[in-house]
Every structure is written in C-alpha cells, then in structure tokens.
Structure 1
Amino acid sequence: MTELPRIVSVDDHVIEPAHLFETWLPGKYREAGPKPLTAGIGELEYVGGKYRFTTDPEGQLTDWWEYEGLFFPYKRVIAAVGFDRDEMTLEGITREQMRRGCWDPAARLADMDLNHVEASLCFPTFPRFCGQTFAEAHDKDVALACVRAYNDWMVEEWCGDSGGRLIPLCLIPLWDIDLAVAEIHRNAARGVRAVTFSEIPTHLGLPSIHTGYWDPFFAACEETGTVVNMHIGSSSQMPAASPDAPPAVQASLSFNNAMASMMDFLFSGVLVKYPRLKLAYSEGQMGWIPYALERADDVWEEHRAWGGVRDLIPEPPSTYYYRQIYCCFFRDKHGVTALDSVGRDNATFETDYPHVDSTFPHTKQVALEHVAGLDQTTIHKLMRGNAIRMLDLHLDDNHPGSGGNGSHGDSGGARDRV
C-alpha cells in the first residue's frame, strides 16, 4: 500500500482579516490606508479579461476593502472551501460566511490537519498575488507602509504561532528596486525565505527581466536564499483567445503565463548570472514542461546565433531549469507520467486552499491517485522533500531519500532537517 507523507503545500491563499491594517499600519498612515467595509455588491462586468464590481445597497452583503477610492470585494470563488461545486461563483461573500480557516490561522492549522497537510505557503488576496494593489497606488509612501505592514502581519501574526507550519511569503514594493532589496533583507533577517514576484513584470508596466533593472533584487534573493515565487495571474492578465471569451478559457489556459515566464528566464541570462537563485512557478501545473524544455533546447542548439543568445546562454536552457526552477501541481496526471522530464527533484505539491480549485478536504485521496505506482522516495520528494529543500524548512523529516541529488545548488542535496 502506498504511504503518503504529510504534505508541504507550496501554493495556498489567505483572506486578510479586517483588522490587518488597523493593527499593523503605523498610525500616521491609517487614514489613507486600506479600510474594511461590509456592503452590498452590484452588477459584475467582465471587460477585456478583467472583472469590474460596484457596490449596491440592495445587493448581496459582501466584505470589501476600500483603498484610494477603489473598492475590492471578496468573492466566493476565492473562499470556496465548504461550498458545493455549483455554488462556487463570482458572488460576493463575507468573512462570516467563509470557512474560518480562510482568515484565522488557528482554524487554518486545524483544516490542514483534516487535509493531511503539515505546512503551507500562502499567497495574498487583497494585495493581489505579488502586491499589484500597492504598486498601482498613487501615494507611494502609504503604499510602502502597507507592504511593510502586510509583511509584518504575515510573519508575526499569520505565521507567528504556527510552529513553522505556516510559511511566510512576503511582498516587495515593486515600484522601487532599492526599496525592494531593502525589504528582502529586512524579512530575511527574521527568517523569511520566500517572496512573491510577477511572472511577467512588463504586463504591470514594469521593466522586463532582460533589462538588468531587477538584477539587484535577484542578487539579494540569491544572497539570502529567498525563493522567487510567481503565481499564475501575478501579471494581472490571464491568457484568453478572445477578449469576450468566457472565464473558462482563461482557466484552461492559465499555465501559459508560467510557460511564457519560464522561457523569458531561461533565455535572459539571469539564471546564468545568479546560479544559486531559485524560482518557483505556482499553480501552473507541470504537464507542459517537457515539451517547453525540448523546444528551448532545440532553439538554443539550432538558432542561438540569430536568436540573440549565443553569447548569453552557455549551456542548453534545460540545464538551468533542472538546477534552479521548481514547478508545482495538484491535478496533473499527465505531468506525473512525464516526471522524468519534469524532474523528480523539481516538482512540488499544492492544495490551493481555499480557492475554487482546491482539493480540500480530499487532498490525500487526490494525491494518492496521482502518485500510485511511484516509488516511496519519489513520493516523498513530491509531497514534501522538494519543498523542504526549496524553502530550507526546519521540519522533522527522517525519510532516507529526501535529500534529492543536489541539482538545485545545495551541496550534497541534503537540506531536509532532521
């Protein structure tokens, strides 16, 4: 019988509590900072691949954030655990209607116990996946204070009493590279080893990774062992064939952003320049990776001269993927069948709690269906060992095959703590 070790999920989400900014934002910024409110939600519009909401006193009661005159509602699809599949809609929702584990750390730990999960890395909701909400703000002094307040809450309140089971994932001020570097060092000094970043910064109006602008950020992450986590949608755009296509098209194509981003990095020279930098692609699944690597290596072999990378990328691009990039999955049986190409030391697992895609509370069953037939050493790597090594977690882990082969720059590969 297959033994499934307790899971380390590298992609979950948190619904911010209403008191976050009142508690953690310095007093002089609170008036201009985000404020929680509960109000009816109006009509939903889906324009150009983006959702637009308005308040309506007669609408369904919803919890919102108001910030710089804009309103950000919580929707049922992002707090979907506990609802039937056909109830997981874009309707508004209040925290009271959510499962408590969405926003309460003690309740989250209890739900993790129910779901065979030992540890969890959580992406933000109101700030958006890499802090776009604050990057788009007009008052950058307040925005910087909000980034720091969110990070303080994440480290000290959300993760603080979890015994290492809730893993801090912090934001950077995307609009200022020097402030971003300072925030990496500030958080690394208190043990943070994960930061969220945009998969395609140019979609946010920011410099591309090819310009060299982000090099100080990548250097700081390499120096501190901070993993750069890029969630699908962290570019504020999701791929779609047509601007009026239904959201199901975006959901089906969501991996495209991760694939485009990975190609950008493989041909950018960033991974050559920073050989100990670690990238993690979140919620992108992995079945697409084997062909993407095959194509990248073929382009490098056949077209590197006119393709502009002859002097930039000294080895086949897949070399840098296997050495420095992690993927994750939770519904991808095709990816598991191609695991030797995906990389047994590169794949990690997620539960996506509490989103509409989450496998909660059946994650153990879903995982077992995916890993059936794999050897126990590989199962251990996929469910926890690779994540522990990636994030340098201090979790008890006595499995003899957990160390991997050192393909990500860890001397000897034995980073799992015992």
Structure 2
Amino acid sequence: MTEQLCERYAVADVDSHIIEPADLWTARISSKWGDLIPHVRFHERRQEDVWYVGDKKLYGAGAFAQAGWPEYPPSHPKRLAEANPATVDPKARLSYLDEMGIYYQVLYPNILGFHSHVFLKNVPRELATECVRAYNDWIVEFCSADPKRLVPMTMLPFWDIDESVAEIQRAHAMGHKGVLFAARYDKVGLPRLADDYWSPLLGLAQEMELSLNFHVGFLSAPEELSGAVDQSKKEDFTKESSLVLLGNAQNIAEVVLTGVCDRYPDLKFVSVENGAGWLPFLAETMDWQWKNVGAHKDFPDRLLPSEYMQRQIYGMFWYEQQAMRSVIDLIGDNLMFETDFPHATSLSPGPASESPSPRDVMERALGGLPEQTIGKVLQHTATKLYHLDPPDRA
C-alpha cells in the first residue's frame, strides 16, 4: 500500500480555532466589572447558550463548533456539551489530529477575533486589555497538553500601541508563535498600517521574527460577518460566506502597495482562512496597475508587487484543488495547508458535510507534485515560519 502524504510528513494545519469555554474570562477577571466581562447565559427564545458582553448578544456558544454536526450550517450545537469534544478539550483535539493525519495545529480565537468591534464599542479599554491578556494566558494553558503540536497565536490590545508591544513580548515569552493582526486599522479609527504610529510594533515583530497573521474575519464589521454566522437562508449563507473568504485581498494590497513590505523586508505577513487561488490574480493585477499608472517611475527603488508577495506574503489552502498549480508557481515557498477546524467551512467530515478528510484533500491537491514542493506545503514552510520544534517522530 502506498504511504499517504500525511504519513510522510508532520503535517501543519496552520488555521484552526479553539472554542472558548464559558468561564474563560469570568474565572480570570475581577468581578468588579460585572456583566461587562464576556460571559455565557441561556437564551430562552433561542433555547441555547449565548455569549454576552453586558447586554450585547454576540452568538451561540456553539455557533462555531460545527465540525461533525448532523445538520447543515448555520445549524450548530446549542450547548458546548453537544459539540465534538475535540472542539473544546485539548486531549480530544490531539486524538482527533492523529485520526486526521495532522501533527501541528495553529490555533486562533473566535470571540476576540470575530467580535473585536464589540470590545472597542462596549467595553472600557482597561477591561478590554485584561480580556486580551486573559485569553493569551488561557490559550497557553490549552496548548500545554502538547506545546510542541498545539500552537498559540497572540491577540493584541491593538487600541493601545504601548500595551500591544508589551503583550507581544509577554506572549512570546510564554510560547506564542505569531501575532493575530489586521492591515486596515483605519476601519476602526486608528492610523493606517503605513503610518509611523505602528513602527514600534512592526519593528519589534520583525526583530523577533514573529509573523503578522491576517485572519479573514478579524476587524470585519458585524454586517460583513453576518452571512458567515447568522444567515438562515442557504442562498445568502453561500453568497456571504464565499465573499467573506476573499476579504484578505485588501490586507495584502495594503502592505504591498503602501511601502510596508519595502520598509520591513524581513517581516512576514500571512493570509489566514482565505484560500490561495486568488493570490496569482491579485499579484498580476497589482503588477499591471503599478506599471499602468506609472508608479514604477515614482518609486524606482521599489520591487514589483508580485516580488514582495513572493518574498513576504504567505497563503494557505484547504478545499481548493484546481488553482493549486498557479499558486505554487507564484508563492510555492510560502504556501501552507489549513483545515479551519471546527468551523462550518472546514475539512471536518460529518453527517452533513461535503468535506472529505484532510488526508484525502492532501492527496487530491498535492499528489503528483515534486516531493520537495509537497514537503514545503505540508510541513517545512510552516515549521520555519512559526519556529516550531521538530516532530517527535522521524
């Protein structure tokens, strides 16, 4: 029998999510803040546990835990006890990874990642910063089940540049391997990333060799995410969730075209949960327009946009197959694999999922490519980028 790719490599899944436990913040933050602390309570009309900040309702506690769920999205577990245990328990997660043929898994948040606007508008900045620190502490505890395989990413109190710089240093010392970030902070009233305001953070990340990871949902407005979370009509869910998955094009264009990549040549930017098939089109379009409007004359010392992408932009894929060859031609050294477990659009086989197993996806998308390319995509690019320890197995 031919050895599967996941048996030849210690596969890195570079985008997955934890499902936050109901007491994550209430157990770690002073009760003086009362109901402003993110908490879960039962919603009578919906008959499910729901996350709240004050009286602001966010979403069901199990809304993102759809892996293996027997009904089609957006249906989801009403209580976390109904969810796949691997969504909430680190030991169960490790067993699940073994079953799926995955060795490493990079972990992103849900609440802080997808609902940052709520923290900006509804929570005092002091408390919001405490919530960020508490999350960064908790995710290290979660990953302690196997810190070699479970990889935490740092959330920042981005509304305070000094606190953000301090948190990067603190989190890195605890074992965090990268930073959840955004390129369009101007959407929430902060300076654009090209502004010198961000220099202390960008310079530190470059110095510490920490990548900045643009997760597709981070800093999206609630109306932008509504299709990915709450839509009940199948047509709307398909349309909105598909369009959301193109959201990082703005982020990549921002760092490539505003001079950020030029000023920080060793800083790596990662497009997370966004697929990769659109990257060649974006690179070709930016090159064309850069020359078409004469920008290459105004900035003669700059590289072409596609050259910055090849040097500093990383992408990932999960269900894509047809576009993989052109992506590899553009950023073959910077392409990685993801599953998005346990979200609705993830490589999580189940009763109401069209998804094949991650094992099968790897074979279909990468089978027949040069062995060196396969090794980079499945393992070596991620282990180098995130400074992951070598696997225990040979």
* TM > 0.5: yes
Match in the other structure for 2:136: 151
Give the 5 Å matches for 1:153-232.
153-155=138-140, 157-232=141-216
Offset from partner CA, 1:312-352 (integer Å, 9 cap, x none): 86111122111111000011113312134332111000011
After superposition, the Cα gap between the structure-2 partners of 1:203 and 1:288, relative to the gap in structure 1 and judged at 3 Å, is: same
Match in the other structure for 1:67: 53
Offset from partner CA, 1:112-170 (integer Å, 9 cap, x none): 11111111111111223484443333311111111101111112x11122132110111
Q: Secondary structure at the match of 1:117?
A: coil
Give 1:103 shift.
1.4
Match in the other structure for 2:358: 363
Moved more, 247-256 or 378-387: 247-256
After superposition, the Cα gap between the structure-2 partners of 1:247 and 1:64, relative to the gap in structure 1 and judged at 3 Å, is: same
CA contact 1:17–1:104 (8 Å) conserved in 2: no
CA contact 1:64–1:71 (8 Å) conserved in 2: yes
Kindly indicate whether residue 8 of structure 2 is the aligned counterpart of residue 8 of structure 1. no
Give the 5 Å matches for 1:17-166.
17-26=21-30, 28-29=32-33, 32-40=36-44, 56=45, 59-60=46-47, 62-74=48-60, 78-84=64-70, 86-90=71-75, 93-129=78-114, 131-155=116-140, 157-166=141-150
CA contact 1:344–1:382 (8 Å) conserved in 2: yes
RMSD between superposed Cα atoms in Å: 2.7
Taking structure 2 as the reference length, the TM-score comes to 0.87
Moved more, 212-221 or 372-381: 212-221
Offset from partner CA, 1:2-58 (integer Å, 9 cap, x none): 641232111101110122113332565566422222333xxxxxxxxxxxxxxx2xx
Match in the other structure for 2:310: 322
Report the Cα distance in structure 1 between the residues aligned to 2:4 and 2:311, rounded to whole angstroms. Answer: 28
Return 5+ residue gaps in structure 2 as ranges: 350-356
CA contact 1:134–1:144 (8 Å) conserved in 2: no
Report the Cα distance in structure 1 between the residues aligned to 2:49 and 2:341, rounded to whole angstroms. Answer: 19
Report the Cα distance in structure 2 between the residues aligned to 1:35 and 1:83, rounded to whole angstroms. Answer: 24
CA contact 1:75–1:93 (8 Å) conserved in 2: yes
Q: Secondary structure at the match of 1:356?
A: coil
1:298 to 268, 285, 288: 288
Match in the other structure for 1:416: none
Give 1:63 shift.
1.9
Match in the other structure for 2:388: 393
Q: Secondary structure at the match of 2:322?
A: helix
Match in the other structure for 1:382: 377
Report the Cα distance in structure 2 between the residues aligned to 1:79 and 1:108, rounded to whole angstroms. Answer: 13
Q: Secondary structure at the match of 1:207?
A: coil
Report the Cα distance in structure 2 between the residues aligned to 1:170 and 1:286, rounded to whole angstroms. Answer: 23
After superposition, the Cα gap between the structure-2 partners of 1:186 and 1:232, relative to the gap in structure 1 and judged at 3 Å, is: same
CA contact 2:65–2:77 (8 Å) conserved in 1: no
Give 1:254 shift.
2.6
The letter of the residue matching 1:368 is E
Give 1:90 shift.
4.3
Q: Tell me which of the two structures has the higher relative contact order, counting C-alpha pairs closer than 8 angstroms and 6 or more residues apart.
A: 2
Give the 5 Å matches for 1:238-277.
238=224, 246-277=236-267
Identity rate of aligned residues, in percent?
29
Give 1:72 shift.
2.1
Report the Cα distance in structure 1 between the residues aligned to 2:84 and 2:254, rounded to whole angstroms. Answer: 38
Relative to its length, the structure with more helix (as a share) is: 2
Taking structure 1 as the reference length, the TM-score comes to 0.82
Report the Cα distance in structure 1 between the residues aligned to 2:51 and 2:104, rounded to whole angstroms. Answer: 28
Return 5+ residue gaps in structure 1 as ranges: 41-55, 400-418
